[in-house]
Structure 1
């Protein structure tokens, strides 16, 4: 009788194969899971540690944009004087400056043979001197910027009458720097009117500065 054959070897190989077949995929899956977790953690840390965006807040409106106070706005005010007083007035043209002096008030004034007031009216003459104290040549009609105001607040513009008490400016006047002109400006007013103020403005009355003289 022959001895029994040895146990078959394929059983051991089968167990090893099964172990490898089951363990190797698990090992690979575990490694992949670890890689996924590391990547997930890295991504999570990146999001958390990212710097917040820089926000630029709008700045407040500068205080210099505020509207100027009423006190800061300069408003031309008329200068005042009495008969015999001089006022320096500026014109609209660069360098135009005149020193004006009211030297005499004639109320009533006497017209010449060609200049007589209407019925119930009289002539009033204001004598003044104009000195060019600026750098520009004065070329204007002084009568255009002259106004007479009576005690009741009524105002009158000049007329073309001539009077015996003084020589008129004769229409326009051209005065160089440093030169002086003297003349009378005549007004026709109601007989009861009493002259109270005289106003004079350069540029035929359109300059910003007005001089005012009290006549009584």
Structure 2
């Protein structure tokens, strides 16, 4: 059972390369296109905080932990970028599970707002947080435009050096 789980993890991490996704090393900038003409972002994963501490109160029996990922977004396209970074971001763990980003403030730093608007040439930085099981081992982070639905997907391996 453990061997088949590891095989699934390997396939999940290789799938982006095999399917034409843009894999990146930690801290590498990946250029991603959206589905609309002229929609393009340079996306850089700059920091991972694991575990992250919530900025507000959390229930005393919450068995999950938080992982905060900091991204730098630069609009390199010819049209205005309007999107929500949290649902556009996913964390993959070593068991092949996928977690969608949430807008949950942590002490790591400021989160992206629910909606980000960037004119061509503009940049924004912020954190996207993930709630994962306490024993989960983060393996990769993915980002795509169009609330995560664009065909062009960037992937960074974890942990960051």
With normalisation by structure 1, the TM-score equals: 0.63
1:205 Cα deviation (Å)?
Answer: 1.4
Could you tell me how far apart the structure 2 residues matched to 1:160 and 1:130 are?
16
**Is 1:97 the equivalent of 2:40?**
yes
Which residue pairs with 2:150 in the alignment?
207
- Aligned position for 1:167: 110
Structure with the largest fraction of strand: 2
Shift of 1:115: 4.8
Cα distance change on mapping 1:135 and 1:151 into 2, 3 Å:
same
Partner of 1:186: 129
* Residues 91 and 207, structure 1, Cα contact 8 Å, conserved in 2: yes
Q: Is the 8 A contact 2:43 2:72 kept in 1?
A: yes
Q: C-alpha separation between the residues in 1 aligned to 2:60 and 2:48? A: 18
- Measure, in 1, the Cα distance between the counterparts of 2:77 and 2:60: 37
For the Cα contact (< 8 Å) 1:117–1:188, is it kept in 2? no
Matched, 1:152 2:92: no
Does the CA-based 8 Å contact 1:117-1:123 persist in structure 2? no
Instruction: Give 1 or 2: higher helix fraction.
Output: 1
TM-score normalized with structure 2 length: 0.83
Q: Secondary structure at the match of 1:169?
A: coil
Conserved? CA contact 2:63–2:134, under 8 Å: yes
Q: Call closer, same or farther: CA 1:191–1:77 in 2, change over 3 Å.
A: same
- Report which structure shows greater RCO (CA 8 Å, sep ≥6): 2
Instruction: After superposition, give the CA deviation of every residue in 1:72-100 in whole Å (9 maximum; x if it has no partner).
Output: xxx96110112210000000111010000
CA distance, structure 2, for counterparts of residue 124 and residue 195 of structure 1: 9
Secondary structure of the corresponding residue to residue 107 of structure 2: coil
Q: Where do 5+ consecutive residues of structure 2 fail to align? A: 1-17
Gaps of 5+ in 1: 1-74
Greater C-alpha Rg? 1
